[in-house]
Chains A and B, each alone.
Chain A
Amino acid sequence: MAENQIDRKQRQRIHLTAGVLFLLVALMFVSAAFLRFSA
């Protein structure tokens, strides 16, 4: 029976997903302040 372990490829995909989401978080954070500076 195959163990339900995370393989290397899956691990890379998880890190890629998390990385993209962290970038989105940073973007949304900065956009709030940008509203003020662009006003």
Chain B
Amino acid sequence: MATAHHADHPTGLSRWLFTTNHKDIGTLYLVFAFTMAVIGGLMSLVIRAELWQPGLQLVDPHFFNQMTTVHALVMIFGFAMPGFVGLANWQIPMMIGAPDMALPRMNNWSFWILPFAATLLILGLFMPGGGPSAGWTLYPPLSAQGGIGTDFTLLSIHLLGMSSILGSINIIATILNMRAPGMTLMKMPMFVWTWLITAFLLIAAMPVLAGAVTMLITDRHFGTSFFDAAGGGDPVLWQHVFWFFGHPEVYILVLPAFGVFSQIIPTFARKQLFGYDSMVYATASIAFLSFIVWAHHMYTVGMPMAGELFFMYATMLIAVPTGVKVFNWISTMWRGSMTFETPMLWAIGGVFTFTIGGLSGLMLAITPVDFQYHDTYFVVAHFHYVIFGASVFGLFAAVYYWMPKWTGHMYNETLGKWHFWLTMLGFTLTFFPQHFLGLAGMPRRIPDYALQFTEFNQWSTVGAFMTIAAQFIFFYLAIKCMKGGERATDKVWEAADGLEWTLSSPPPYHSFTVAPKFK
């Protein structure tokens, strides 16, 4: 009877609207994130179709700029961040042996802010004058001049930020207060550790963006001059404040993926994670360093030599803890009994692509070199290798790894592998040539380009369409897995380790109603 009572929940729409259950909210986040990925993906196809050949053929330049701006905002704030919050919601309580998140009603609220924020963001495109076109960095004076579509975007960013802050407070409160008896901090799974650190990053970074956005709104509508030189303000202040948020944001997107890799690689190498303690310290070091490197995005703006040197060396220092992590993942695989199921493919692929993105980041960190590469396609290649290569690969790795646990069914392994390899090929075809385009001098955020850039751009466009097409396999596979298929065992993977694998597949609606024993 107790089980029946625990499994009791409303059905239909009210289940999803009013739910305070971490699994339901996790599902809502993931569905929302992948819906936004489709919207952002279609925008990237508009960009790539226009860049198929030199000249203007499909869209006018103003709309092109709106596409690059909104594509980035949708992918960062609508896809990658909510995707990982969805994973956190599903997994953290199950991994630490808690019955739910610490603040379940706030959890419901932090999700339901998102659809409204996303609607505002997209609706901006349909306003008179169109959506924001200043790039996702929203630098004034351009962002101070946009039409009402820009206001929609700024309000939307406020809401998306609020949602992230509420989610982070919940995650920290859960991890610090609701671990199973015996699970000390240094015994937590790495995914939980990386999320704990990410949540602190969010709490320190998002309010700063909110402050900057508020100042921009008051500049636009209430006569202030924070960023208006004519009124005694300074547009460069925006860049400093924005990047004080913007650089930690990169790690907000990447650290949870590192946590995913650290869960998956030991499982499929059938070995314990190499250097657990150093992984924790490296993650914390990366998080700390992410707050003292922001001006490496602004070398070309102009700053004193001492400033340029400080930001250059501080940025290069990040390679040390990052190197520790990559070394540990490789050492975990070293002499392991490795198998290459789909989650492992995504994890290894993610480590590989992230390493390339990290190395191009090191190139960009060098001030005189950055003077050459700044605002070129080299930067576009670099951050897609980091954000797509680590975050999105990590997200897919996690979904494949835990989907059998969530649904109780195994996914189709053959289709999963096809999804990985086609995405890997499409991704490489899209973004690798962009390094060369950037080195040859093609600027970013332009709808037209010089003739000599045509060939690499065409490779890139073919790759983009291929990447998006490959995602249909994932959607088909995921829906099929939700509906049925071969039953998954409780442990799912032979060498899986952690409390979530002690639950049934799928887990009961209310799990760990009795505190688990943790050794």
Contact = CB atoms under 8 A, between A and B. Distances in A.
Interface of A: 1-6, 10, 13-14, 17-18, 21-22, 24-33, 35-36, 39
Contacts of B165: 25
B237 A35 contact: yes
Interface stretch (B112-120, B318-326, B437-445, B508-516): B508-516
B387 interface: no
B76 interface: no
Interface in B205-255: 205-208, 210-212, 214-215, 226, 233-234, 237, 240-241, 244
Contact of A30 (B168, B176, B211, B233): B211
A28 B204 contact: yes
Nearest to A25: B207
Given A3-B514, A32-B207, A39-B237, 8 more contacts: A4-B99, A6-B102, A13-B177, A14-B173, A17-B173, A18-B169, A28-B208, A39-B234
Contact of A21 (B97, B169, B177, B215): B169
Interface of B, helix, strand, loop or mixed by DSSP: helix
Give the most central of A13, A26, A32, A35: most B CB within 10 Å.
A32
A35 B238 CA distance: 11
Given A10-B178, A31-B211, A25 B237 contact: no
Contact of A29 (B98, B99, B207): B207
B176 to A, nearest CB: 6
Nearest to B165: A25
B183 interface: no
Contacts of B177: 10, 13-14, 17
Contacts of A4: 97-99, 512-515
20 contacts: A3-B514, A4-B99, A10-B177, A10-B178, A13-B177, A17-B172, A17-B176, A17-B177, A18-B173, A24-B204, A25-B165, A26-B207, A28-B203, A28-B204, A28-B211, A32-B207, A32-B210, A32-B211, A32-B212, A35-B240
A18 B98 CA distance: 17
B103 A18 contact: yes
A30 B103 CA distance: 25
Grouping DSSP codes into helix (H, G, I), strand (E, B) and loop, the A interface class, with mixed when no group exceeds half, is helix
A17 to B, nearest CB: 4
A33 B203 contact: no
A25 B203 contact: yes
Contacts of B207: 25-29, 32
Given A4-B515, A39-B234, A21 B172 contact: yes
Contacts of A36: 215, 226, 233, 237
Nearest to A37: B226
A32 B241 contact: yes
A26 B211 CA distance: 10
Contacts of B515: 2, 4
Contact of A33 (B99, B178, B214, B244): B214
A28 to B, nearest CB: 4
Contacts of A10: 177-178
Question: A3, A17, A22, A24: which has the most chain B beta carbons within 10 Å?
Answer: A17
Contact of B514 (A1, A13, A35): A1
Nearest to B242: A32
Nearest to A9: B177
Contacts of A35: 237, 240-241
A38 to B, nearest CB: 11
